Amino acid sequence: MTAIPASAASRPDSGGASPSVPRHVAIIMDGNGRWAKKRGLPRAAGHKAGAESVRKVLKAAGEAGVQCLTLYAFSSENWRRPETEISDLMGLLRFYLKAELSALHKQGVRIKIIGDYKVFPEDIVKMLEDAMALTAGNDRLTLAVALNYGSRDEMARAARILAGQVAAGSMKADAITPEAVDNLLYTADLPPLDLLIRTSGECRLSNFLLWQAAYAEMLFVDTLWPDFGGEAFRGALDDFARRERRYGGL
């Protein structure tokens, strides 16, 4: 396991105190393809195994008292992958929305989608919006799924909105603060990001929650995502609890 601490949360509000349980955990779920290749299986088998890890980690997050779990499921760059793999991913998304939605709702999980998901096939868009509407009142845990998400696009979108407000005279340029930007991001209604995990040994953010991760603790682990289950997630929470967060102070 390779752990790289970094300061975390775009809106630090803990007064320098480090809670034992992170409010908001985000995961870059990396390694499905390599997991499948090691076993001589098609990449689709890796994605299916990875979806099982989502179920285990979500259960562990709920039991630990995490308020929000954000998963990087499909980036805006993933459209560059082979068409067959994209088709497999869309099929897997349809399957798990149908298979898991009822159980998630009963468990008090609120589903939120971040990213420009409306470019997906029409039936998937409807399924996503139905899932968000059904679970909107749930408050045990928020599951935020990043679909067609890119952090730089997210920040550019916020900048365009603010520029339009300045041009229209409804806002002064000097009123553009970090808080003003934060309030226009997809994550505006989520707790500040406390912990960001990436699996598979890669040590980069890959255009994921760049703004939100400004003060986040970061943990890079060698485990491939399909092998990262509840025990590994609890280990990550234990690592977080041992860290001291100063937010630039002493």
CATH number at residue 89: 3.40.1180.10
For residue 27, give both structure tokens.
């995961």
- Provide the domain count of the chain: 2
244 located within any domain: no
Clarify whether residues 164 and 107 are in a common domain.
no
CB atoms under 10 Å from CB of 111, counted, come to: 22
Clarify whether residues 29 and 73 are in a common domain.
yes
Clarify whether residues 102 and 138 are in a common domain.
yes
Annotated binding site for substrate: 31-35, 43, 47, 75-77, 79, 81, 198, 204-206
62 located within any domain: yes
Q: Report the distance separating Cα 62 and Cα 155, nearest Å.
A: 30
Clarify whether residues 121 and 43 are in a common domain.
yes
Q: Report the distance separating Cα 79 and Cα 211, nearest Å.
A: 23
Residue 168 structural domain: 151-190
State pTM to two decimals. Answer: 0.90
- Residue 5: per-residue pLDDT: 38
- Residue 1: per-residue pLDDT: 47
Annotated binding site for Mg(2+): 30, 217
Clarify whether residues 106 and 156 are in a common domain.
no
Rg of the chain over Cα atoms, rounded to whole angstroms, equals 18
Clarify whether residues 197 and 163 are in a common domain.
no
- Residue 249: per-residue pLDDT: 65
> What is the rounded end-to-end Cα distance, in angstroms, of the chain?
28
Instruction: Write down the catalytic residue from 30, 88, 148, 194.
Output: 30
Clarify whether residues 157 and 136 are in a common domain.
no
Which ranges of the chain have pLDDT less than 70?
1-19, 248-250
- Residue 12: per-residue pLDDT: 56
Clarify whether residues 128 and 158 are in a common domain.
no
Instruction: Write down the catalytic residue from 78, 138, 183, 207.
Output: 78
- Residue 155: per-residue pLDDT: 98
Clarify whether residues 227 and 115 are in a common domain.
yes
238 located within any domain: no
User: Sign (positive/negative) of CA torsion 127, 130, 135, 136?
Assistant: positive
Annotation says 78 is catalytic: yes
Clarify whether residues 145 and 105 are in a common domain.
yes
Clarify whether residues 124 and 161 are in a common domain.
no
Clarify whether residues 53 and 172 are in a common domain.
no
DSSP 8-state code for residue 2: B
